[in-house]
Structure 1
Amino acid sequence: MTMQSAYEAEVAQGRIKSDPAQLAVLPELERVRFALTQPVQKTGFFKRKAEPIKGLYMWGGVGRGKSMLMDLLYEQVDAAKERWHFHAFMQWVHSEMTEVRKTGVDDAIKPVAKTLSDRLRFLAFDEMQITDITDAMIVGRLFENMFEAGVVVVTTSNRPPTDLYKNGLNRQLFVPFIDLLQDRMVVHELASDTDHRQGRLSGSDVYFTPLNADASVQMNQVWTELSGGCEEELTLHVKGREVVIPRFHNGIARAKFFDLCGKPLGAGDYLALSEAVRVLLLDDIPRLSRQNFNEAKRFVTLIDALYEAKVQLICSAAAKPEMLYVEGEGTFEFERTASRLREMQSDDWMSAD
């Protein structure tokens, strides 16, 4: 089935709504799908090396349908394939490199790249983000090796290649990888005016209070709808430490207040989380006071990170934002957090500048 036919079938069955920006990228998706139906050409005497298949780098704002389109392509590709969320992939790469180093090799990246290229021809990534110089250097060499082996990569991102690892430490070392991406992949902006998630994530649908059985039921319903019933653990590597998010799928994370604010986490941890997820479901925010002052300070820092990164927050809480912190040191400072929590519930917050 062509990508056009597959897309039209989804529209006909009411699972998606037709969008001009999505229709515009279908020819590129079909180009990749069709190319992968062709047999791999072996090189040898009197045979010209086949032109490598260019991948696709789809970028655009949240809710524009990038992941949906990539999943649609993934379903239609009939070749050895794998689909990863980018952060989960990098966790796997770090783990594999650790195992390879135990064998005494000097370069652990090449064996990992060979493992991938031996077992697949098509690699789909969701949410490419580069926030760490170590990851920046690893992913550059890894992709170079995979491209050389003929692996076709399709990825989504919220930013264009030129903005990856923007203002990062020693970014000049990463620039050759950006050039490689633009050479080996077609870069396509999904410039839709419609956020297809806003129908689910707006107004009273994102803040449930008080903490009772009804709030739990509604949080579970949102999680099931957004995650599709799939989940895994997400481990973020932050300055040599591991921050574990208990439940995660396709850019959607879920954790309890204690998981993120009851442990000694800081701004760097929350920034890494904000880079890794598009939506955070946070359960069981308690009333805050001098009795749990440290947790309250962390919560303020968490909300600041989510707010600045435009991460959609869905939560259950003991009270409305203005009544979460009503006594004790820090009450005045919490007013801004309450204001941000209220603003993050508005229908147009995600699309605001």
Structure 2
Amino acid sequence: MLAGADRVTTRYRALVDAGEIGADPGQFGLAGKLDQLNEKLGERRLAAKGSALGRFFAARAAVPVKGLYIHGAVGRGKTLLMDQFFAVAAPRRRRRAHFHEFMAEVHERIHALRAAARNGAARNGAKSVDPIAPVAAAIARETRLLCLDELAVEDIADAMILSRLFGKLFEAGLVLVATSNTAPDALYHDGLNRSLFLPFVAVLKRHVDVVELDGPADYRLEKPGRAPVYVTPLGRVATAALDRIFLDLTGIARGRPEALPAGGRREIRVPQAAKGVARFAFADLCEAPLGASDYGRIARAFHTVVIDDIPVLADDRRNAARRLINLVDTFYD
């Protein structure tokens, strides 16, 4: 049995009691399903031990554990509940990632293996090998529970490898919990060569229970009311207002610089950061060569981002305007 503090339902009730969220029957039902999954994961972990207790749970753990695929409209609390589950999940080797971040890493690993195989083939004349199996094996060694947020298949490069990749991951015993705005059967709808993608849907549905989380409200639109979303016009008054907001959120007047890894040797410079809050100038984010993946890294690292000095975006700043739109879309997701 899970201890009270390790139950998603307990954590959910605490959020409701604290007034941070409103009670929602659909969310509470999903919290219960996540608790049931965690019970099974805990039994499997105990079964792996050589103790008498492990032998007791071994027979029950022999049955493969099915994960969860949580879908529904935006703002229904899918990510909130998955994150509550991840915080208390039984497996020590667990990982939480945005789907696109995870797939970017998969492609990097595939590229590295192919490059190594080409170099080896050039030296000894050996044939190149399919890198999917070794990449999946490496991920499965590192991760027993994979929580993926915002699963959305838009790239044909992703679509063509998902069936083989996740087939191997599931064979190795990996358990998947994913959130998505889209039901499994509607993934990659009207995508190029979709018939080659459909085996992934079949593999997915064999290894997860599909749960729809729906409700009447987009909870992201419920403003906390303690601070304005934007301050205008630019000037000393606006800067002072943002200074106060940063102080209220962090308890300090000025944060410390940080650097977020951005793949390879790249880093994203954060001028000020403290207690999950980042502060940037507009130029740092929208006049620098940053893209959606970079904005996603920022959003995952910080719960609040304060941006100074957003100008009027005339025609001569079209690139900056596009980046701002991209940033807002990514943060909203």
TM-score by length of structure 1 reads: 0.65
Which residue does 1:287 correspond to in 2?
Answer: 312
Unaligned runs of 5+ in 2: 49-58, 118-127, 271-276
State yes or no: 1:57 paired with 2:69.
Answer: yes
State yes or no: 1:75 paired with 2:98.
Answer: no
Distance 1:311-1:122 versus aligned 2 partners, 3 A rule: closer
Name whichever of 64-73 and 204-213 sits farther off: 204-213
Which residue does 1:30 correspond to in 2?
Answer: 35
Offset of residue 39 of structure 1: 2.8
Q: 1:94 aligns with which of 107, 124, 138?
A: 107
Distance 1:5-1:177 versus aligned 2 partners, 3 A rule: same
Q: Give the percent of matched residue pairs that are identical in Structure 1 and Structure 2.
A: 35
Q: 2:178 aligns with which of 146, 152, 155?
A: 155
What SS class does the counterpart of residue 174 from structure 1 fall into?
Answer: helix
- Residues 198-217 of structure 1: matches in 2 within 5 Å? 198-200=221-223, 205-209=228-232, 210-212=234-236, 213-214=239-240, 216-217=242-243
What SS class does the counterpart of residue 88 from structure 1 fall into?
Answer: helix
* Partner Cα separation in structure 2 for residue 55 and residue 254 of structure 1: 37
* Partner Cα separation in structure 2 for residue 12 and residue 203 of structure 1: 19
* Partner Cα separation in structure 2 for residue 222 and residue 176 of structure 1: 51
Q: 1:297 aligns with which of 299, 318, 331?
A: 318
More helix by share: 2
Distance 1:13-1:257 versus aligned 2 partners, 3 A rule: closer
* Partner Cα separation in structure 2 for residue 232 and residue 280 of structure 1: 16
**Letter of the aligned partner of 2:223 in structure 1?**
R
Which residue does 1:129 correspond to in 2?
Answer: 152
Distance 1:235-1:161 versus aligned 2 partners, 3 A rule: farther
TM-score by length of structure 2 reads: 0.68
Offset of residue 145 of structure 1: 1.0
What SS class does the counterpart of residue 202 from structure 2 fall into?
Answer: helix
**Letter of the aligned partner of 2:310 in structure 1?**
I
Distance 1:102-1:82 versus aligned 2 partners, 3 A rule: same
* Partner Cα separation in structure 1 for residue 267 and residue 186 of structure 2: 27
Q: 1:8 aligns with which of 1, 7, 13?
A: 13
Q: 1:39 aligns with which of 40, 44, 66?
A: 44
What SS class does the counterpart of residue 175 from structure 1 fall into?
Answer: helix
- Residues 158-197 of structure 1: matches in 2 within 5 Å? 158-197=181-220
**Letter of the aligned partner of 1:72 in structure 2?**
Q
Offset of residue 50 of structure 1: 3.2
What SS class does the counterpart of residue 99 from structure 1 fall into?
Answer: helix
* Partner Cα separation in structure 2 for residue 4 and residue 202 of structure 1: 27
**Letter of the aligned partner of 2:311 in structure 1?**
P
Offset of residue 270 of structure 1: 7.0
Which residue does 1:327 correspond to in 2?
Answer: none
* Partner Cα separation in structure 2 for residue 172 and residue 48 of structure 1: 37
Offset of residue 244 of structure 1: 8.6
The answer to whether the Cα contact below 8 Å between 1:246 and 1:255 also exists between their aligned partners in 2 is: no
Which residue does 1:326 correspond to in 2?
Answer: none
The answer to whether the Cα contact below 8 Å between 2:137 and 2:169 also exists between their aligned partners in 1 is: yes
The answer to whether the Cα contact below 8 Å between 2:71 and 2:181 also exists between their aligned partners in 1 is: yes
The answer to whether the Cα contact below 8 Å between 1:233 and 1:246 also exists between their aligned partners in 2 is: yes
**Letter of the aligned partner of 1:56 in structure 2?**
L
Offset of residue 187 of structure 1: 1.4
Offset of residue 60 of structure 1: 2.0
The answer to whether the Cα contact below 8 Å between 1:253 and 1:277 also exists between their aligned partners in 2 is: no
Which residue does 1:336 correspond to in 2?
Answer: none
Root mean square deviation, CA, Å: 4.3
The answer to whether the Cα contact below 8 Å between 2:286 and 2:321 also exists between their aligned partners in 1 is: no
Report Cα offsets for 1:66-94 as digits up to 9, x if no partner: 11111111122221311112222223223
The answer to whether the Cα contact below 8 Å between 1:32 and 1:55 also exists between their aligned partners in 2 is: yes
Offset of residue 137 of structure 1: 2.3
* Partner Cα separation in structure 2 for residue 302 and residue 146 of structure 1: 35
* Partner Cα separation in structure 2 for residue 3 and residue 200 of structure 1: 24
The answer to whether the Cα contact below 8 Å between 1:270 and 1:301 also exists between their aligned partners in 2 is: no
**Letter of the aligned partner of 1:138 in structure 2?**
I
The answer to whether the Cα contact below 8 Å between 2:145 and 2:176 also exists between their aligned partners in 1 is: yes
Distance 1:224-1:164 versus aligned 2 partners, 3 A rule: farther
